[in-house]
Structure formats: C-alpha cells, structure tokens
Amino acid sequence: MKYYLVLLFTGLSLTVYSQSFEVKGRVTDKMNAEPLEAATIYIQSITDNALITYTISDQKGNFELAGRTKAKEVNLLISYNGYKKITRKISLNKATIDIGNIQIEELAEELQGVEVVGERAPITIKKDTLEFNVSSFKTKPDAMVEDLLKKLPGIEVDTDGKITVNGKEVNEVLVNGKPFFGSDLTIATKNLSKDIVDKIQITDTKSDSEKFTGRKSTSDNKSVNITLKKGKNKGIFGRVTAGYGTDSRYEMSGIGNYFNEDQRVSVLASSNNINSSGFSSDEVFDMMGNRRGNLGFRQGEGITTSSNIGANYVDVWGEGKEASADYFYAKSDTENNSRKERETILPDSHFFTETLAATVNNNDSHRASSKFEIEPDSTLKITIRPSFNYTSGFSSSVSSTKSSDEFQQLINESSIESTGTSDRRNFANSISIIKKIGSNGAYISARFRNRNIENNEEDFLVTSKEVFGSNASLENRNQFTKDNTTEGEWNLDLELRQPIVKNLFLDLNYEVEKEKQRKKLSIHNFNAQTNAYSDFDARLSSNLKTTSAVHRTTAGLNFEGDKLYASFSAGLLRTNLITEEFSRNTKFEKTFNDVALQSRIRYRMGRGKRISIRYNTESNTPSAAQLQPVADESNLTNIVTGNPNLDREYNHRINLGLSNFDFRSRTGIFVWANLNLTDHRITPITIIDEDLIRRSTYTNVDGNYDGRLGASFSKTIKRDNSSLKYRIRLSTNYSKRYNFSNGTKFSTQSLGVSPSLRLTYSYNDLIEIEPEYSVSFNKASYSLDRIEDRDFLSHKVGLRTTTYWPKNIVFGNDIQYNYNPDVAAGFDKGAIFWNMSLGLKILEEKGVVKLKVYDLLDSNINTRRSITADYIEDSQSTLLKRYFMLSFTYKVNRVGGKASRGRGRGSWRGRRMH
C-alpha cells in the first residue's frame, strides 16, 4: 500500500509546476451576430496537438475554459457544426484571458468525406446527438470501448459494466447503428478495441418506429452507437484466453469478429467453473468470479460451471434490405448449500425458523432470433422478427426446516426432497408495417405479435412434517407431480399520427390483446402395494384454463419542439378475464373497465440541462397461481391456495428527472424521483396455527404506495497528465404497505437511506486509484404495537488500484470490505474480499500472461439480511473460495488490411490527452 501512496503523492506534486489559466469569450454568427449555443471550444498544445481542455458555449454563446499546463502558448480552436473552424494562438501570460467576441462564418457547402486528423473537435452536438471524437481522449494501451467510455464526460460505468449517461441508464449499444450480440451490452463494450473506433454517439433510445418516422423519443434511457473508423470496418479481430488454477479452477474463452463493411459475423465460446460469463475483456480483473448472467441463463447463488457458444450475423442484402440473426447455446451446472434464519412477527407473538438446503441445478438453453428489415421506398418499412427459445433442466434439492416459538421451544420439523426435470419451448414473432404519409410527420402503422409457450415439468417429491407437543403428529408424503402448461397470445396494435399545426400531432391508437393459458397439474401418490405412483390425488390436482382479452383505445396530443416535448393521451381499457377449473367444474368471469392515462413533459433548458415529468396508469391482472382455487401443499408447513375472486391491480406512476451537466466545469448534477400508488394490490393473507403451520391465500388491499428520491453530484478535475473524478450519491426510498399477520391487517412503513462516495484518480496512464464508501440504513415501522420497529445498517468500503509501470506490466488490486452489524448471532458480520492480478504483455503486446488470485485472504462471505412486512431473515450460501490461476490471452487484430500492433510506452503519453 505504501507503493501506491508514493505514486499518488508523486503524481500530485508534479502538477504543482503547471500554471492555472482561464480563457473566456463569446461565439456568434458572423452574418447576423446571433449567439451560437453548443459550439465546441478547446485548447491544444502547439508542439504535439495534445488536447488540454475543452468546453461548450451556453445559450448566449459565452464560454469559459479553465485548465492547467506547463505550456506558455497554446492553440485555441472553435468548432460548430456547419461553420468554418477558427484557430488562434494565444499566450498564457496571465491567469485570466478574455478574447472577446469571436465571429465564425457559415460554410457555403459541407465537405463530404474529408477528415483532418487532430483538428476535429473533441465534442460535437448535433440536435439530439452528443458525439465524442475518440482520438481526443487518451486511454491506456489496448483499451476496450468500456475503458474509453469511462473517460468521456457525463458517462459512468460501474463494476458490472452498467452504463449511465447524465444519470440515464444505457439500454442499447450499437455498432455502426446495428445491434451487437443482442441485449448483452457488455459483449460490445468489453470486446471491441478503442483503436478501431472513430466516434461514440449518445442519443435518447428510440424504437424502430421512432427512428424511421423521425418521431421524438419517448424513452427514459440512452443509446450508445459505436462508429468504426473508415477502413477499420474491414478485417478480423478477436482474442482467446485459457487458464488453470488451484482447486481445479479453469477458464477458457474466445471471441472472433469478421467485418466486411456492412457485413459482420461474430462468434464466441467459453467454459469455466468460476462463476463467470466468460466474455469480459477487462485487462486487469477479467473472469474473476463475475456474477453477471449471460446468454440465456442467469447465475444465482452457489458455484456454477458454465459453457456457452454463440454467433451473430448482420448484413445488408441490397438496397433497402437488412438482415441480422443470432444463436446462443448456454449450459450451466450450479451447486449451492444455504442456511436461513427467519423471525416471523405475529400480532401477539413471534416465532423462529431455521432452514438448511442443498440444491443442484443443471440447465441447457438454446436461443435463436433474427430480424429482417425491408424498405421498398423511403415511405414504407416492414420489419419481421421471429425468435425461438428452448430450455431443458434438471434439479435436485434437499431441505430441512425447524420452527420454534418465542421461548425457543421446538414446535415442528419438516423436510423436502425433490428431483425433477423440465423443458420449455417459446416461439415468438412480430411483423411491423409503417407507412409515412407525406413529409409533415404523418404516418400509419400496424404491428402484429404472437407468442406460443409450452412448459412441461415432472417432479418426484418426498415431504414430511412432524409436530411436537400436545398435538403431536407425523405426516409423510411421496408424490409424483406432472405440470403441463401451454400459453398462446396474440396482439394487434394500430396507430395513426396526423399533424395539426407545426410540431403538434394527433395520435390515435387501438390495441387488442388475447391470451389463453391451460395449466394441468396431476399429482399421484406412491402406492406401496403396486410399488408405483398409481394413486391419483384429485384433491391436490387441478385443470385450470384462463382466458383474457384486453382492448385499449386511446387518443393523444403530442407537441415536439426543439426544447419542449409534451404529450397527453387518454382512453379506455377494457379487460375481460375468464377462469375455468375443469376438475371442480367451476367458472369465474370478470370484466374490468379502467381509464388509461399517460402524460409527459420534457423541457431542455440548455445543453446538458433537462427536466422531465411523466405520469401514467397501469392495470395488472392476477396470475394463474393467484387465481387457482387449489392448495399447493408441496411444503407441508406453508400451504398456499389461490383466490378466483381476485380483482386486478391498478397503479398510478409519477416520475421526475432533472439533469444538468456543465461541460465547462465537467460537473454533473442529477436528481430523480418516483412515486407509485397502487389500488387493489394483490396481497397474501396468512393464518398461522398453534403448530406454526402457515395457510395462505390472496386478497386485494387499497392504500399502498412507495416512492424513491435520489441525487448525485459528479465532477472531474483535469491537470495535464493527471485527473481526479469524484461522485457523491444519495438514494432514499419510502413505502407504506398493508399486509396481514395471522389474519390481522396492519401497515408497514419502510425507509431506506443510502449515501455513497467514489473517487477516481489517474496519473499519466501509469496509475489509477479508485476508493469508494457507501452506507445503507433501513428502518421498518409497524402499526401493530406488539411488533417492534426494526433497523438495519450495512457498510461497504472499496479500493481498486491499477498500475501500468514498469512497461508491459499491469498490476491490479480490488479490495472490498463489507460489514453488517445487525445480522443474527452465528452469521459472519464482516470480511475483507481481495482480488489481485499481475499481468505481463509479451509477443509485441499481443499476448498477456496473467497470474490472478481470487479472494486473497480467503475470507469472503455473502451474509445478507432482508426485512419484509412480517419477517426478518438472515442468510448465507455457498460461494467461490480462494484460488490462484495462471492464464494466457492472445489477441488478433487485422483490420484495414494489415495487423494492428500494440503501442509501446511512448504512446502511453500519446499526442492526445483526456
């Protein structure tokens, strides 16, 4: 640790010899003297064109640049889309320099296909698109797109690869405007090299309809488009990794990409037993027990051995015809042992349960999808999207539970042994047709979707329950359960848009959706005389059919200006729900009529500054399990029966967002708030008898609500070769829920507060230091006097360090300390989790030999506490323990017709700075 402190203070001391400066002025149009908002003003070194600092002009055309450099003279450049570039040499002979009003001249004609390397602005704003010139932002050698994104202002990337832009989550990553391996964003960001990227473009996420018609985005998320360099969109690149370690831990993975202009083919494969998705290309900590799910299955608790293989294809089949397809196969085998201790709170008492469980889950998944886009002309677009998923699985579990009263007197014991198989088939298809009418934004669209699912499960179940005391009893069951579920659904959505006046549109929409589900549950008891599962259990078996039909008719007005976007729609929502239980000859039918409301206001107060407000209603019908009037007795101490008389849930949702990112000071402020009011919330109602046997059903309850409020502040301080970025974040949540405890209705009010602080310091691409701290406080208050209020506190401290010195050596440490002081006795309260990695680049930096240590101190724990309306639970489960692994990675990069080799240390200091 002393080594890192010496480097840190050395880097900080070197910045003292740089001089601070501030340059301010104003940018206007030469023809009419109008101020130009969002012009890019930046300063470069005269000797090597290195970027020193940059900013964006405000609504009045004013700008201020603040920075620090050793240079006495620098170049000041002003760039604005459609205008001639201005370059001036200025002398930094005083702390503040006012260059006055700068008039720039509009280009008579845009030059197409002309690029001047080193002269492009680092940031360009084009209407709703924020564009970053990649060559202006320096990264470490062999950096991936994810490393580049971390350098861009307003963009944050967390340890799981989740990306946010100005506080908004990124839900789409495109390469040259096309998806890259489906919905897994990290495959693109962690596997595409920065060297082949020309621009990073940030926009509001748009649907296919919005992209084609030019309609404003209605999404709250952001989209990242990775534009490849000209000449680099042709070639082969990829990597392979193999490693082996102690405790027979291993990893193997590879990804290859073939690009030929509009045609792209990518393949990937991996296998490991270290809980990794296998496709992280993090230079330091790749494939170290990553918990992120991928390619058709999501990893849960325990230790998972997984294998994956996938392929992706994108191509243009002539003018107006595009096609894409992908296929994934995923296999996962997970073993887990868990322990849970729960305190259940009753109106007049409380009791305790302890559960020990051992599970094995094996799953195989095949997923295939394709997309075909046809544009016969500029006014018509047809999109077809078929997909197919098949999943088969095997599961085995053994669990035992002990229940004791508040005096620690044992009341009952139960056990469950289960062995089962499952297979699920899911076919879906959608056809969308959009026709533009004229050139004023009018269009008509139709979309048809259908889905068919078949799910089959077979399970051998052995259960037992023993009750002690005066009502002593013993019950054993040995059953074979067969569950066959089929679902069919289709949806038709018709939409018409007609302009009224400029920027004001009338939208008419009609949607109909019909769904049928048939669930046949057959249970047979074991007959000792026949030595077979020959006794049909009519009491526990069922044959349920649910049919729902939803009709939604809405009309709305939308105003889509440059700064103001406002929409309001209202309509009728009619839902007809029919449930039929054939084995009991019962039938229930209900019709719900609701008002469907939706409104949104989004106002841009300036570049980087925006406020949005959204309100909408939502109706949710009960599930088949909640409606089914048959007892589920797979757990003899927790019996659940559905209620066919349930009403639907009706929600009111309000969302508020405020973002303000100042490019001049590299400061971002983001505020968000959400409120959800729920009428007729579907709520379990449970009766617990004196033997602590739970019997539950469902009912509807009004008056529930929950809300979230959060804010974050981030700032980046840049001084020549060093930078410091810090983020302060505060997140709060509050909810009030009505529940039932032993038949008594009560309310629970929950409050959570979670502040956090994260710092990132880097010096000359030689060292990066990232400390962070967060604390989470949760409080639960109950309306019943018998139930005491509960508090729960947890702390997390982290430190991540990476050094790139000496040359070709990368040394990383990732340390995290978690402390949960309120967990029950017998559970670990805190531990230090430390991963370490040491890498050596060889073979002209195309190969990396790496020694990795997972959980260096062998002290990792996964203790968790959860608080609900009527219980508090502490739990622990199997987790990956310490291992050492030696691995080798080899990269292939042949784009633009020749091999692209790694850069030496000299290029680390580069010609362009972030």
Instruction: Kindly list the distances between the CA atom of residue 830 and the CA atoms of 113, 134, 195, 337, 719, in Å, as whole numbers in the listed order.
Output: 59, 42, 42, 20, 38
Residue pair 487/516 in contact by the 8 Å Cβ criterion: yes
Order of strands across the sheet that contains 694-701: 631-632, 638-641, 694-701, 681-688
Q: What 8-state DSSP symbol labels residue 143? A: -
Q: How far is CA 636 from the centre of its chain?
A: 38
Integer Cα distance of 703 and 745 in angstroms:
12
Identify the band that residue 204 occupies on the pLDDT scale cut at 50, 70 and 90: confident
Output the six-digit token pair for 678.
Answer: 């729920």
Q: For the residues 760-768, what does the mean pLDDT come to?
A: 87
pLDDT of res. 39: 87
Q: Are strands 96-104 and 19-29 parallel, antiparallel or unpaired?
A: parallel
pLDDT of res. 183: 65
Q: For the residues 824-841, what does the mean pLDDT come to?
A: 87
Identify the band that residue 788 occupies on the pLDDT scale cut at 50, 70 and 90: confident
Integer Cα distance of 727 and 874 in angstroms:
31
Nearest residue to 855 via CA among 885, 887, 823, 820: 885
Integer Cα distance of 401 and 344 in angstroms:
14
User: Residue 232 pLDDT more than 80?
Assistant: no
Q: For the residues 680-705, what does the mean pLDDT come to?
A: 91
Q: Are strands 129-133 and 197-204 parallel, antiparallel or unpaired?
A: antiparallel
> What does the pLDDT look like over 872-898, one tens digit per residue?
888 989 889 999 999 999 988 787 654
Would you tell me how many other CB atoms lie within 10 Å of the CB of residue 483? 17
CA dihedral defined by 633, 637, 643, 649, rounded to 10 degrees?
A: -120
Q: For the residues 238-264, what does the mean pLDDT come to?
A: 91
User: Residue 106 pLDDT more than 90?
Assistant: no
Minimum mean pLDDT range among 234-238, 521-525, 532-536, 597-601: 234-238
More confident residue, 617 or 176: 617
Identify the band that residue 159 occupies on the pLDDT scale cut at 50, 70 and 90: confident
Residue written as tokens 């918990």? 291
pLDDT of res. 284: 61
- The average confidence (pLDDT) of the chain is 86
Residue 444 DSSP SS3: strand
More confident residue, 875 or 151: 875
User: Residue 288 pLDDT more than 80?
Assistant: no
Q: For the residues 33-59, what does the mean pLDDT come to?
A: 84
Concatenated DSSP letters of 848-880:
EEEEEEESTTS-----EEEE-SSEEEEEEE---
Integer Cα distance of 332 and 393 in angstroms:
9
Residue 13 DSSP SS3: helix
Phi then psi for 136, rounded to 5 degrees?
-85, -10
Identify the band that residue 138 occupies on the pLDDT scale cut at 50, 70 and 90: confident
Order of strands across the sheet that contains 62-69: 62-69, 19-29, 96-104
Residue pair 401/344 in contact by the 8 Å Cβ criterion: no
Integer Cα distance of 372 and 431 in angstroms:
10
CA dihedral defined by 386, 389, 390, 392, rounded to 10 degrees?
A: -170
How many CA atoms does the CB half-sphere of 868 hold within 13 Å? Answer: 14
Those residues with Cβ within 8 angstroms of residue 458's Cβ, 6 or more apart along the chain or in another chain: 420, 421, 422, 480, 481, 482, 483
pLDDT of res. 657: 92
State whether the Cα torsion 753-684-644-458 is positive or negative: positive
User: Residue 899 pLDDT more than 50?
Assistant: no
User: Residue 11 pLDDT more than 50?
Assistant: no
Integer Cα distance of 363 and 375 in angstroms:
40
Integer Cα distance of 78 and 109 in angstroms:
18
More confident residue, 579 or 571: 571
> What does the pLDDT look like over 478-513, one tens digit per residue?
999 999 999 999 999 999 999 999 999 999 999 999
Nearest residue to 149 via CA among 187, 202, 196, 221: 202
Minimum mean pLDDT range among 172-186, 217-231, 378-392, 640-654: 172-186
Q: For the residues 325-338, what does the mean pLDDT come to?
A: 94
Number of H helices, E strands in the chain: 6, 49
Those residues with Cβ within 8 angstroms of residue 463's Cβ, 6 or more apart along the chain or in another chain: 414, 415, 416, 417, 476, 477, 479, 634, 635, 636
Output the six-digit token pair for 531.
Answer: 């030595």
User: Residue 670 pLDDT more than 80?
Assistant: yes
For the entire predicted model, the pTM comes to 0.83
User: Residue 6 pLDDT more than 90?
Assistant: no
CA dihedral defined by 51, 57, 61, 67, rounded to 10 degrees?
A: -50
Concatenated DSSP letters of 824-848:
PTTS--EEEEEEEEEEEEETTTTEE
User: Residue 16 pLDDT more than 60?
Assistant: no
Residue written as tokens 């950096």? 143
430's torsion region: left (phi>0), alpha (psi -120 to 50) or beta? beta
Those residues with Cβ within 8 angstroms of residue 806's Cβ, 6 or more apart along the chain or in another chain: none
Q: For the residues 112-132, what does the mean pLDDT come to?
A: 67
Mean pLDDT is highest, among 84-88, 445-449, 862-866, for 445-449
Identify the band that residue 866 occupies on the pLDDT scale cut at 50, 70 and 90: confident
Q: How far is CA 572 from the centre of its chain?
A: 33
Strands (E), 561-642: 564-581, 586-606, 609-620, 631-632, 638-641
Residue pair 287/253 in contact by the 8 Å Cβ criterion: yes
Residue pair 795/823 in contact by the 8 Å Cβ criterion: no
213's torsion region: left (phi>0), alpha (psi -120 to 50) or beta? alpha
pLDDT of res. 287: 52
> What does the pLDDT look like over 580-627, one tens digit per residue?
888 888 888 888 899 999 999 999 887 778 899 999 999 888 887 788
Q: For the residues 452-462, what does the mean pLDDT come to?
A: 96
Q: For the residues 21-44, what does the mean pLDDT come to?
A: 88
Minimum mean pLDDT range among 133-142, 233-242, 704-713: 133-142
User: Residue 117 pLDDT more than 90?
Assistant: no
Concatenated DSSP letters of 320-362:
TEEEEEEEEEEEEEEEEEEEEEEEEE-SS-EEEEEEEEEEEEE
For residue 476, what are the β-bridge partners? 464
Concatenated DSSP letters of 636-654:
TTEEEE--TTPPPEEEEEE
pLDDT of res. 675: 96
Integer Cα distance of 587 and 48 in angstroms:
80
Integer Cα distance of 481 and 418 in angstroms:
10
167's torsion region: left (phi>0), alpha (psi -120 to 50) or beta? left
User: Residue 451 pLDDT more than 70?
Assistant: yes
pLDDT of res. 797: 95
Output the six-digit token pair for 30.
Answer: 């030469």
Output the six-digit token pair for 529.
Answer: 């005389």
pLDDT of res. 81: 81
Residue pair 576/545 in contact by the 8 Å Cβ criterion: no
Q: Is 739 exposed, middle or buried (0-12, 13-18, 19+ CB in 10 A)?
A: buried
Nearest residue to 214 via CA among 381, 448, 449, 39: 381
Phi then psi for 189, rounded to 5 degrees?
-70, -30
